[in-house]
């Protein structure tokens, strides 16, 4: 709520079930099974939705509990800040269809950043079709935005202006409304030329957002 107020209603809450391996164990707790991780994700989204909308009813889940959770004065955006939910499987798609204003994909969560671009684009297109079916099952039109993490799905989308334009076009053809890329680092998995990124951002190109 505070961030929503400070940004004058321009904040989006991005939420995912969390990674596997080291990311899942970094805080010293045992890694959850995929089923338990999905259960915890649903509880978190359900409770966050209630809290941000000012619902004061008790919530008693397996992972989260809240007793008369008063929250005021409420969000600038109504009924709450929009949710961008990451999902790659049936339960996640159903959750996004129920609560999300934006669906987020990183491609294959089991091979984060390791899938060739052509395969990755085919995968996210298939995921989007599953999302549309989940929306239909929930009685909702597929009116939510769809966002792809280009730095993970694409093959060096910041390699050049032309490379970015080609990749952005492929994402648009697959039905995606939003494309994000990681801010260029001098080295590491998201290494890229800052000058190229700045040229992309300064030209009349499809919207690019940096993480």
Q: How many domains does the chain fold into?
A: 2
Pairing of strands 83-86, 102-105: parallel
**Measured between alpha carbons, how far is 128 from 199 in angstroms, rounded to an integer?**
30
* CB atoms inside a 10 Å sphere around CB 149: 20
Phi-psi region of 61 (alpha: psi -120 to 50; beta: other; left: phi over 0): beta
Q: Looking only at Cα atoms, what is the longest distance across the chain?
A: 54
Res 209: pLDDT: 53
pLDDT of residue 24: 75
10 located within any domain: no
pLDDT average per 10 residues of sequence, the chain (211 residues): 95 89 79 90 96 93 92 93 95 96 92 87 96 95 91 92 93 93 90 93 61 48
pLDDT at 21: 76
Is the domain of 129 the same as that of 67?
Answer: no
- Find the angle CA(12)-CA(14)-CA(17) to the nearest 5 degrees: 160
Rounded to whole angstroms, the Cα distance separating 75 from 55 reads 12
Q: Identify whether 31 is part of a domain.
A: yes
31 and 117 in one domain?
no
Q: Is residue 9 part of a domain?
A: no
Structure tokens at 31: 């890694």
Q: Does a structural domain hold residue 207?
A: yes
What is the pTM for the complete model shown?
0.88
The per-residue pLDDT for 206 is 52
- Nearest C-alpha neighbor of 43 from the set 64, 68, 22: 64
Range of the domain at 179: 82-211
In this prediction, residue 126 carries a pLDDT of 96
Residue 2 lies in a domain: no
């Amino acid at each position: 709520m505070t961030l929503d107020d400070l940004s004058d209603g321009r904040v989006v809450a991005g939420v995912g079930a969390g990674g596997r391996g080291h990311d899942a164990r970094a805080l010293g707790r045992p890694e959850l099974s995929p089923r338990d991780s999905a259960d915890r994700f649903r509880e978190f989204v359900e409770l966050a939705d209630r809290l941000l909308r000012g619902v004061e009813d008790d919530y008693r889940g397996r992972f989260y509990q809240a007793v008369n959770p008063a929250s005021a004065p409420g969000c600038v955006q109504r009924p709450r800040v929009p949710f961008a939910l990451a999902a790659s499987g049936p339960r996640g798609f159903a959750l996004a269809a129920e609560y999300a204003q934006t669906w987020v994909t990183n491609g294959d969560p089991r091979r984060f950043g390791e899938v060739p671009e052509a395969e990755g684009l085919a995968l996210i297109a298939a995921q989007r079709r599953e999302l549309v079916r989940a929306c239909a099952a929930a009685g909702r039109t597929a009116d939510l935005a769809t966002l792809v993490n280009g730095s993970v799905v694409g093959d060096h989308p910041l390699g050049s202006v032309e490379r970015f334009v080609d990749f952005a076009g492929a994402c648009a053809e697959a039905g995606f409304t939003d494309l994000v890329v990681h801010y260029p680092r001098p080295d590491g998995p998201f290494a890229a030329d800052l000058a190229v990124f700045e040229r992309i951002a300064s030209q009349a190109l499809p919207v690019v957002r940096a993480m």
